[in-house]
């Protein structure tokens, strides 16, 4: 997948090559006409004016190419999160239903997949996929709604392979308006911002315990 910087470089190089071709062609044409030096200088001045025009036109191609790049990254990102989620379920089966700890979960899951990759191909920041700190080290029994509770997600603001909450959701437009989420039932799906609001981050049991621990008003 091409990054934004790479795409811009390609466009500028293509513009430069096209410009050199035009200069060479016009130069050969001018020689055959045996024009005076004064007229020749005027034509070169007019030709130089083409440079900003060519670069200006090429800039319009950046946004469509970037949108295509974002779209192409979605299947790869989706597959990577699905692989992590599947490896997590296998780990839990071998660990009495317990999810891996927040620290070192990439090492814990590495033995369950030879293609484990913890970063979205479209990510610009050093962050990658994070485990939901609300379910780290917890057991399946403590998660009442596994199909709605986040296990892994696209994060930002921390190093890849660590833990986070909804506060660490990626702010990058990697896939348009969607991010890839895995849930505790093993599924992985892209979620738009509207659907992200329906996801659960703290198992109900822990949410109830947190509520009970709050001071009661008299």
Residues sharing a CB contact under 8 Å with residue 9, sequence separation 6 or more, in sequence order: none
Say if residue 162's pLDDT is above 70. yes
Task: Give the SS3 label for residue 200.
Answer: strand
Do 27 and 86 have their domain in common? no
Say if residue 15's pLDDT is above 50. yes
- CA–CA dist 218, 213 (Å, integer): 15
The domain total for the chain is: 2
Q: According to the model, what pLDDT value does residue 184 have?
A: 97
Q: According to the model, what pLDDT value does residue 18 have?
A: 55
- Percent of the chain exceeding pLDDT 70 equals 59
Say if residue 128's pLDDT is above 60. yes
Do 10 and 111 have their domain in common? no
Q: Flag whether 68 is in a domain.
A: no
Do 36 and 13 have their domain in common? yes
Q: Flag whether 85 is in a domain.
A: yes
- CA–CA dist 163, 27 (Å, integer): 62
Do 90 and 196 have their domain in common? yes
Q: How confident is the model at residue 6 (pLDDT cuts 50, 70, 90)?
A: low
Identify which has the larger pLDDT, 174 or 22.
Answer: 174
Q: According to the model, what pLDDT value does residue 149 have?
A: 97
Say if residue 87's pLDDT is above 90. yes
- CA–CA dist 128, 170 (Å, integer): 9
Model pTM?
Answer: 0.65
State mean pLDDT over 1-6: 51
Q: What angle do CA 181, 176, 87 make, to 5 degrees?
A: 20
- CA–CA dist 118, 87 (Å, integer): 12
State mean pLDDT over 2-29: 55
Do 116 and 158 have their domain in common? yes
Say if residue 146's pLDDT is above 90. yes
Say if residue 81's pLDDT is above 80. yes
Do 84 and 185 have their domain in common? yes
Do 35 and 140 have their domain in common? no
Helix axes 4-33, 62-93, angle to 10 degrees: 150
In terms of residue numbers, what domain contains 158? Answer: 74-208
Do 56 and 78 have their domain in common? no
- The per-residue pLDDT of the chain, averaged, comes to 75
């Amino acid at each position: 997948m091409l990054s934004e910087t790479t795409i811009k470089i390609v466009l500028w190089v293509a513009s430069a090559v096209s410009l050199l071709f035009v200069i060479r062609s016009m130069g050969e044409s001018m020689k055959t006409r045996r024009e005076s030096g004064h007229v020749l200088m005027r034509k070169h001045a007019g030709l130089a004016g083409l440079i900003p025009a060519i670069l200006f036109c090429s800039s319009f191609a950046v946004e469509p190419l970037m949108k295509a790049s974002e779209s192409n990254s979605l299947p790869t990102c989706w597959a990577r999160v699905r692989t992590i989620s599947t490896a997590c379920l296998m780990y839990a089966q071998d660990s009495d239903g317990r999810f891996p700890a927040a620290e070192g979960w990439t090492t814990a899951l590495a033995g369950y997949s030879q293609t484990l990759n913890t970063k979205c191909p479209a990510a610009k920041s050093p962050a990658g996929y994070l485990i939901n700190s609300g379910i780290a080290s917890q057991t399946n029994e403590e998660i009442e709604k596994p199909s709605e509770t986040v296990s892994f997600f696209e994060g930002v603001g921390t190093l890849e392979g660590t833990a986070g909450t909804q506060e660490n959701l990626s702010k990058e437009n990697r896939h348009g308006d969607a991010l890839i989420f895995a849930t505790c039932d093993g599924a992985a799906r892209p979620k738009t911002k509207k659907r992200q609001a329906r996801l659960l981050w703290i198992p109900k049991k822990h949410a109830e315990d947190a509520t009970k621990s709050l001071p009661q008003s008299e």
